[in-house]
A and B are shown apart, each in its own frame.
Chain A
């Protein structure tokens, strides 16, 4: 019985099969992502009330927070896929991990810049060593390390496995780093009274935030599928099915 399931998984996760199915799946992620995103934007910019303390600048939250959440979420996905690829030798998992990394790094970068832009009107400085921003910066470095290792190793399989292991080591370290930075931040709280106090969340503020978070996940799903398909085409370029497919394109 397990053998049957295993055989099914292997067939399903073959790059060829994945390529075919993912092509059909992309619109199912892309369209809801756009619709939901636009609606969330509308809710966030027009419907959500002005914050009592922070005025209109708090609206950056609708970009900053989902971006930060996504950067963490994608790193998890990356580490899990890499783990699956490493343990069960499923090539597709490696491709998804590799395809996810740049997207995650972009989200981390976005979170950092929007955090900085939020901080400036609030505390007069573009950068403060707030616990969350600092953790986000470290996460960005972890992404860079992953991508740097991937491109430094020539053999594709080795590169995947090595960076996959690095992602797993990173995931184990993230809670430790997070905790250390939180703790470090509380020590030095006196120096900077900067704290990313979320405005006390009115329901009209919470809804666009959550909608944006969902839209971001759908966006990620659509983009990672597109990227993963590119990886498939490139890595399997010597296979017959790829050659036949490309001829028709």
Chain B
């Protein structure tokens, strides 16, 4: 293991490379979250679209 004692501040500091390392991990996190959330939103959108189409069809059948 590195050094004898683990310190959180040193961990976050990443030997001076904090910006680079944490930006990379941060971007990865953003990418993961985006790729999970975006399809879920898309799913809701598709479902509501199909529902609307069904309703429209039902209405037009009633009125015709």
Residues of A with Cβ closer than 8 Å to B? 45-47, 49-50, 55-57, 59-60, 63-64, 67, 103, 106-107, 109-110, 113-114, 117-118, 120-121, 219, 223, 226-227, 229-230, 233-234, 237, 242-243, 246-247, 249
The answer to whether A110 and B47 touch across the interface, beta carbons within 8 angstroms, is no
* Number of B residues, CB within 8 Å of A: 31
The one of B2, B23, B51 in contact with A246, judged by C-beta atoms closer than 8 angstroms, is B51
The answer to whether B15 and A57 touch across the interface, beta carbons within 8 angstroms, is yes
Residues of B within 8 A of A223 (CB): 35-36, 39
Main secondary structure of the interface of A (DSSP, over half): helix
Residue of A nearest to B54 (CB): A243
- Give the CA-CA distance A146 to B40 in the complex, in Å: 23
The answer to whether B21 and A59 touch across the interface, beta carbons within 8 angstroms, is yes
Residues of A within 8 A of B1 (CB): 47, 49
Q: Give chain A nearest CB distance to B56 CB in angstroms.
A: 12
**Scoring B residues 46 to 59 as 1 if CB is less than 8 Å from chain A, else 0, what string do you get?**
11011101100000
- Give the CA-CA distance A178 to B39 in the complex, in Å: 32
Residues of A within 8 A of B54 (CB): 243, 246-247
- Say whether, besides A55-B16, A219-B32, A223-B39, A49 and B2 are in contact (CB < 8 Å): yes
The answer to whether B39 and A227 touch across the interface, beta carbons within 8 angstroms, is yes
Residues of A within 8 A of B42 (CB): 227, 230
The answer to whether B28 and A110 touch across the interface, beta carbons within 8 angstroms, is yes
21 contacts between A and B (CB under 8 A): A50-B2, A56-B17, A57-B14, A57-B17, A57-B20, A60-B21, A60-B24, A63-B25, A63-B27, A63-B28, A107-B31, A113-B24, A117-B23, A117-B24, A120-B20, A121-B20, A219-B35, A223-B35, A226-B40, A237-B50, A247-B51
Residues of B within 8 A of A118 (CB): 20, 24
The answer to whether A106 and B43 touch across the interface, beta carbons within 8 angstroms, is no
Residues of A within 8 A of B14 (CB): 56-57, 59
Residues of A within 8 A of B43 (CB): 226, 229-230, 233
- Give the CA-CA distance A223 to B43 in the complex, in Å: 12
